[in-house]
Structure 1
């Protein structure tokens, strides 16, 4: 499947409504003697029908007695033919333990969306996407998420198996360290939107780490859909050359966002819509855990993927997601308008806070390329804190590969200097020289843009290397940013720019 197909099929449900089914009980729940002797296993099967308009979540309570070693769940649902242009059936699944389902999700034990048809949890191990730990007695809840329901409705079947026996011990998770050796103060390349078998990816963590190194990356983030099970899956894969950040792709019904660089084990609940007024609470959760909030692929056209929460609290925006598409072009235009609004606010005496751009691959499987695109961050060192601070400040630029290099700077008449994400304070009519240096984009087009639009464009030679210089003043441009575009493909409209090869966050020109 294509990357956008994965987005369409893997998006999880939000919490516009909840339905709780009758509880499932087992014989041993009534007679614990057999359970405590560790005898065998029991299975119960539940069948049901969900109509169009079903609530976003359906909870199936499971009464778990003492003496259970492992709980296993499987499910199926029908996929009837539907009229063209009408969504068919798609059903997600996960589980909460005896601590309950209430937000913020202290009872969470795993989620696999629509990627798996079965899973199992014991103290010793768990299916990827789920958290190993004791199967304690009490009311557990299998969670069904009817993402889309066909006009005919949905027939489903859930099987729950309890396996009795002596409980094992849960291994202590090995989380990635917060620092790698790095190169001191430098530009570091990273990809902060990646999936493995711990959600809906096909690659193992070992394969992703190898691909990251092959792509010339210095850091990556583990961002599985709605689960933290990937945080402890990277033992032996980090190193002095590769920093691994913990995180999550929080997949609501009204858009997805990345929680990047959170404390290991931090779970961010996803069971809400924009109208539920819950998003701000989880923004604070991410920030308290030391992470960044980054709305992902905000203009992705599929159900549940388009961003509807606004950008308050966001630390960056994923303007570029995977190979450059029309979705990214829309996100870029919206982001540029936000920059212009920040410039107007600052000119009027306000704070003029702006939200930096990010680029990530969202790679799930071959042949999707880890590091296409990547965010290149200026950081004090290769550490979690320094990299996140560089992203937050917009001291970064985006590229399709590590084969591209660039530098953007502005210099004032007295030698004042500013780089990407920085501010240059000069007199209103003082001449400012903007300089862009590029390599690695043969026959590309280098563009300098301000709040007025494109102000300078220059074709790069076949070598792919070139320098563009332009003079302006702070009274004419509140910011300057750069784009480097590939040549337009054959047959493309001459009015449209070519695919993006690299782009920068802005440098700002402030009047004093």
Structure 2
């Protein structure tokens, strides 16, 4: 084992690189003795240890170059960092980690080989296997880069230790060809399908295996799910044998930037989307287009979450939908709902497209409930493209569980009829009737109709949870109508948590 100092200067940097995205710090290169191809299989492992301290205000990404010689069978990395004693209200140290291979660290380039954020303290890669979060494949000779992400740095600095081990000789066999989920399930033709598109497994910071998630999805009454590991596609291959006629599994990613998180929903299996940029870098539009080119939807997640780096700063001009409800309903979801509702009035006034809403569980581990909430989508069939089309059109509603079902329509006096996500054309003073039918609503809930003026009609629901609510208005009085089902209030000054809500029906003179 060799100790490898970080190089001269207080942060041991070789240079501060100003890139087209976030600034990056490159440390001194770690070198290993050369090993010729086909070297002695008995050659012992080699280890290097790098220590250093990152100061407050460090760049978002710190790259540690590692010169990997020929003949390496496996590359293993472990790391540790120190927490500091900080006063209340001050962020303590948090350090993420990942790796790029000899193809480099260029933004959106081909060199990405894995990311675990802060979920793991060690990982390995070799041709036939890799730690979850990392991509298996040969360990080729060249300059690799361990990527450190100082998420938050205490005033005293962030002391870290990185240990790199190279294992030589011996065969590992070829890299297995991945088997990905198919883009369709059996389905029921045009119907309402229920799904949860924000889920985490052991391939990022979740505690469940894909098999456990698939079983929980079926138990929750879901027809489809979308994989969404943080900044990696390693989990795309992990669902082999878990799909079926009853469960469509779409692949995606949760792109976790420092200025908010966004779901790449239904991207092609194995297609990686980079996350190393902030709003100030003006790169999000480029990667939103890449998501769509890879067959996915762009869905900002939990836009008003209070965790560091979670609050959405990129705007919604490049989004296809927005995750208004994330997991257990909380006040930040209420803020997201209000912001989304405000956007409906703006879209109606300007004539620009409106942004549909959805809800997902963001489930990581027990007691997080897969399918709580879930989005019910009216789709032509149980295929990736049909589900995406329904989400993009807003033909959907969100419910806390499969036990709660809604039917919401608006009809006019001349036989017009519109469903969720559609437009009803009627004269400004023509009477139109909103109708909400519910089954499975929990006891104590109320139903409401919401317009651009606010909530204009509320009614308590029967204890049975089965009810019908109707309300009359005109296009002159309401630009759009959407429906909500809420529990009794639990937080002073706020309405009760949502049990369900719909996307709007617009009224167009």
| TM-score interval, normalised by the smaller of the two chains | over 0.9
For the residue of structure 2 that corresponds to 1:183, the secondary structure is coil
Deviation at 1:336, TM superposition (A): 0.4
Matched, 1:20 2:26: yes
Deviation at 1:311, TM superposition (A): 0.3
Asked if the contact 1:361/1:372 (under 8 Å) is kept, the reply is yes
For the residue of structure 1 that corresponds to 2:500, the secondary structure is strand
Equivalent pairs counted in the alignment come to: 488
Aligned partners of 2:21, 2:324: CA distance in 1, in Å?
Answer: 27
Asked if the contact 1:421/1:505 (under 8 Å) is kept, the reply is yes
2:53 to 31, 49, 52: 49
Asked if the contact 1:68/1:167 (under 8 Å) is kept, the reply is no
Matched, 1:435 2:441: no
- Identify the residue that residue 253 of structure 1 maps to in structure 2: 258
- Identify the residue that residue 416 of structure 1 maps to in structure 2: 416
Alignment of 1:250-289 (within 5 A): 250-289=255-294
For the residue of structure 2 that corresponds to 1:456, the secondary structure is strand
Map Cα deviations across residues 29-48 of structure 1 (whole Å, 9 max, x no partner): 2x537846562311111111
Asked if the contact 1:91/1:145 (under 8 Å) is kept, the reply is yes
Asked if the contact 2:21/2:283 (under 8 Å) is kept, the reply is no
- Identify the residue that residue 502 of structure 1 maps to in structure 2: 500
- Identify the residue that residue 319 of structure 2 maps to in structure 1: 314
Matched, 1:469 2:470: yes
Aligned partners of 2:21, 2:77: CA distance in 1, in Å?
Answer: 22
- Identify the residue that residue 152 of structure 1 maps to in structure 2: 156
Alignment of 1:115-134 (within 5 A): 115-134=119-138
2:179 to 154, 166, 174: 174
Deviation at 1:455, TM superposition (A): 1.2
Asked if the contact 1:403/1:440 (under 8 Å) is kept, the reply is yes
- Identify the residue that residue 191 of structure 1 maps to in structure 2: 196
Asked if the contact 2:37/2:70 (under 8 Å) is kept, the reply is no
The higher relative CO (CA closer than 8 Å, separation ≥ 6) is in 1
Deviation at 1:302, TM superposition (A): 1.7
Aligned partners of 1:38, 1:60: CA distance in 2, in Å?
Answer: 28
Asked if the contact 2:21/2:107 (under 8 Å) is kept, the reply is no
1:236 to 221, 237, 241: 241
Aligned partners of 1:168, 1:189: CA distance in 2, in Å?
Answer: 41
Map Cα deviations across residues 155-203 of structure 1 (whole Å, 9 max, x no partner): 1110111111235200011100000001110000000000000000000
Aligned partners of 1:371, 1:43: CA distance in 2, in Å?
Answer: 45
Asked if the contact 2:50/2:162 (under 8 Å) is kept, the reply is yes
Asked if the contact 2:104/2:111 (under 8 Å) is kept, the reply is yes
RMSD between aligned residues: 1.3
Matched, 1:102 2:106: yes
Deviation at 1:414, TM superposition (A): 1.4
- Identify the residue that residue 70 of structure 1 maps to in structure 2: 74
- Identify the residue that residue 370 of structure 1 maps to in structure 2: 370
Asked if the contact 1:212/1:220 (under 8 Å) is kept, the reply is yes
Asked if the contact 1:100/1:107 (under 8 Å) is kept, the reply is yes
Aligned partners of 2:230, 2:51: CA distance in 1, in Å?
Answer: 27
Aligned partners of 2:464, 2:203: CA distance in 1, in Å?
Answer: 42
Asked if the contact 2:37/2:71 (under 8 Å) is kept, the reply is no
Aligned partners of 1:443, 1:322: CA distance in 2, in Å?
Answer: 21
- Identify the residue that residue 7 of structure 1 maps to in structure 2: none
Normalising by structure 2, what TM-score?
0.94
Aligned partners of 2:321, 2:335: CA distance in 1, in Å?
Answer: 16
Aligned partners of 1:324, 1:374: CA distance in 2, in Å?
Answer: 12
- Identify the residue that residue 8 of structure 1 maps to in structure 2: none
For the residue of structure 1 that corresponds to 2:149, the secondary structure is strand
Asked if the contact 1:15/1:56 (under 8 Å) is kept, the reply is no
- Identify the residue that residue 135 of structure 1 maps to in structure 2: 139
Gaps of at least 5 residues in structure 1 are 1-13, 347-351
- Identify the residue that residue 404 of structure 1 maps to in structure 2: 404
Aligned partners of 1:355, 1:38: CA distance in 2, in Å?
Answer: 60
Gaps of at least 5 residues in structure 2 are 1-19
For the residue of structure 2 that corresponds to 1:192, the secondary structure is strand
Asked if the contact 1:188/1:378 (under 8 Å) is kept, the reply is yes
- Identify the residue that residue 292 of structure 1 maps to in structure 2: 297
Aligned partners of 2:37, 2:179: CA distance in 1, in Å?
Answer: 37
Aligned partners of 2:485, 2:21: CA distance in 1, in Å?
Answer: 41
Map Cα deviations across residues 67-95 of structure 1 (whole Å, 9 max, x no partner): 11110000011112111110000000000
Map Cα deviations across residues 193-238 of structure 1 (whole Å, 9 max, x no partner): 0000000000000100000000000000100000000111000100
- Identify the residue that residue 5 of structure 2 maps to in structure 1: none
Aligned partners of 1:433, 1:251: CA distance in 2, in Å?
Answer: 43
Aligned partners of 1:332, 1:262: CA distance in 2, in Å?
Answer: 26
Normalising by structure 1, what TM-score?
0.94
Map Cα deviations across residues 15-71 of structure 1 (whole Å, 9 max, x no partner): 5320101111111x2x53784656231111111110111111110111111111110
Aligned partners of 2:42, 2:500: CA distance in 1, in Å?
Answer: 61
Aligned partners of 2:126, 2:40: CA distance in 1, in Å?
Answer: 16
